[in-house]
Amino acid sequence: MKLNIERVFDFIKKEDFYLLDDIAALSRDMILSGECPGNDFLGWVNLPSEIQKDLINSIKIAADELKKKSKVIVVIGIGGSYLGARAVIEALSHNFNHLRKSKEREKPLVLFAGQNIGEDYIIDLLEILDDKDYSIIVISKSGTTTEPAIAFRILKNHIYFKYGKEADIRIIAVTDERNGSLRKLSDAEGYRTFIIPDDVGGRFSVLTPVGLLPIACAGFDIEELLRGAADMRKSILDNKTLETNAALQYAAVRNFLYHGGKTIEILVNYSPSLHYLSEWWKQLFGESEGKDGKGIFPASADFTTDLHSLGQLIQDGKRNIIETVLWVENSGRSITIPFDEKNFDGLNYLLNRGLNDINKMAMLGTNMAHSDGKVPLLSIEIDKINEYNLGSLIYFFEFSCAVSGLMLGVNPFNQPGVEAYKKNMLELLGKA
Ligand code: PA5
- Rounded to the nearest angstrom, the gap between the alpha carbon of residue 57 and the centroid of all alpha carbons in its chain is 23
Residue 287 annotated to the active site: yes
Residues with CB under 6 A from ligand 1: 78-81, 140-142, 145, 148, 201-203, 287, 415
Mutate to test the pocket of ligand 1, among 40, 78, 147 (most ligand atoms within 8 A of CB): 78
Tell me what pLDDT residue 340 has.
Answer: 97
Q: In this predicted structure, what is the pLDDT of residue 114?
A: 98
Atom of ligand 1 nearest to the CA of 204: 1
In the DSSP assignment, the letter for residue 432 is -
Which residue's C-alpha comes closest to atom 5 of ligand 1? 79
What single string gives the DSSP state of each residue in 21-56?
HHHHHHHHHHHHHT-STTGGG-GGGGHHHH--HHHH
341 in catalytic set: no
In this predicted structure, what is the pLDDT of residue 65? 96
Q: Residue 40 is which amino acid?
A: D
Angle at 406 between CA 404 and CA 411, to 5 degrees: 115
* pLDDT value of position 418: 86
Q: How many CA atoms lie within 13 A of 357 on its CB side?
A: 9
Burial classification of residue 319, based on how many CB atoms lie within 10 Å of its CB (0-12 exposed, 13-18 middle, 19 or more buried): exposed
* pLDDT, tens digit, 9 for 90 and up, residues 372-409: 999 999 999 999 999 999 999 999 999 999 999 999 99
Atom of ligand 1 nearest to the CA of 82: 7
CATH class for domain 2-35+225-408?
Answer: alpha beta
> Per residue in 308-318, is it b (16+ CB within 10 Å) or e — as a string?
eebbeebbeee
CA of 300 to the centre of ligand 1 (A): 21
Predicted pLDDT at 104? 64
Q: Determine what percent of the chain falls in helix, strand and coil, rounding each to the nearest 5.
A: 55, 15, 30
Does the pLDDT at position 419 exceed 70?
yes
Distance CA 153, CA 113 (A): 11
Spatial CB neighbours of 394, under 8 Å, sequence gap ≥ 6 = 84, 88, 206, 207, 225, 228, 229
What are the tens digits of pLDDT across the range 135-169? 999 999 988 899 999 999 999 999 999 999 999 99
The model's pLDDT over 224-269, given as tens digits with 9 standing for 90+, comes to: 999 999 999 999 999 999 999 999 999 999 999 999 999 999 999 9
One of 279, 287, 289, 323 is an active-site residue; which one? 287
Is 16 a residue whose pLDDT tops 90? yes
Candidates 177, 157, 174; CA nearest to 62 is 174
CA angle 66/71/74 to nearest 5° reads 65
* Statement: 47-220 belongs to CATH 3.40.50.300: no
Task: Decide if pLDDT at 432 tops 90.
Answer: no
Q: pLDDT tens-digit profile of 40-55? A: 999 999 999 999 999 9
Contact 78, 114 (CB under 8 A): yes
Q: Which of 138, 145, 174 to mutate to test the pocket of ligand 1 (most atoms within 8 A of CB)?
A: 145
Please report, as a single letter, which amino acid is at residue 200: V
Query: Alpha helices, DSSP H only, in 77-143?
Result: 83-92, 102-105, 119-130
Residues 6+ apart with CB under 8 A from 426: 146
Cα(234)–Cα(238) distance, integer angstroms: 6
Q: What is the mean pLDDT of residues 195-202?
A: 96
Q: In angstroms, what CA-CA distances link 139 with 113, 116, 199, 206, 353?
A: 10, 14, 16, 12, 45
Task: State the average pLDDT over residues 15-26.
Answer: 95
Please name the amino acid found at residue 190.
Answer: G
Average pLDDT over residues 419-424: 88
The pLDDT value recorded for residue 255 is 96
Model pLDDT, residue 35: 95
Q: What angle do helix axes 146-163 and 181-189 make, rounded to 10 degrees?
A: 20
Could you give the CA distance from residue 314 to residue 265 in angstroms, rounded to a whole number? 11
pLDDT band at 174 (very low <50, low <70, confident <90, very high): very high
pLDDT of residue 422: 87
d(CA 244, CA 13): 18
- Tell me the CA–centroid distance for residue 60 and ligand 1, in Å: 24
Predicted pLDDT at 143: 87
The 3-state DSSP class for residue 266 equals strand
Q: Which of 60, 132, 282, 422 is catalytic?
A: 422
pLDDT of 102 above 90: no
Close Cβ partners of 400 (under 8 Å, ≥ 6 residues apart): 246, 247, 248, 250, 251
Do β-strands 109-113 and 134-140 pair in parallel, antiparallel, or remain unpaired?
unpaired
Hey, do 2-35+225-408 and 47-220 end up sharing a CATH topology, with the first three levels equal? yes
Taking all residues of the chain, what is their mean pLDDT, rounded to a whole number?
Answer: 96
Give me the phi and psi of 413, to 5 degrees please.
-105, 0
pTM: 0.97
Give strand pairing partners of 256: none
Task: Give the residue among 10, 34, 31, 15 at the shortest CA–CA distance from 251.
Answer: 31
pLDDT in tens, 282-321: 999 999 999 999 999 999 999 999 999 999 999 999 999 9
Write down the domain spans for the chain: 2-35+225-408, 47-220
**Residue 105, pLDDT score:** 65
pLDDT for res 332? 84
Residue 21 to residue 12: CA distance in whole angstroms: 15
- pLDDT band, residue 72 (cuts 50/70/90): very high
Instruction: Assess whether 98 carries a catalytic annotation.
Output: no
* 345, pLDDT greater than 70: yes
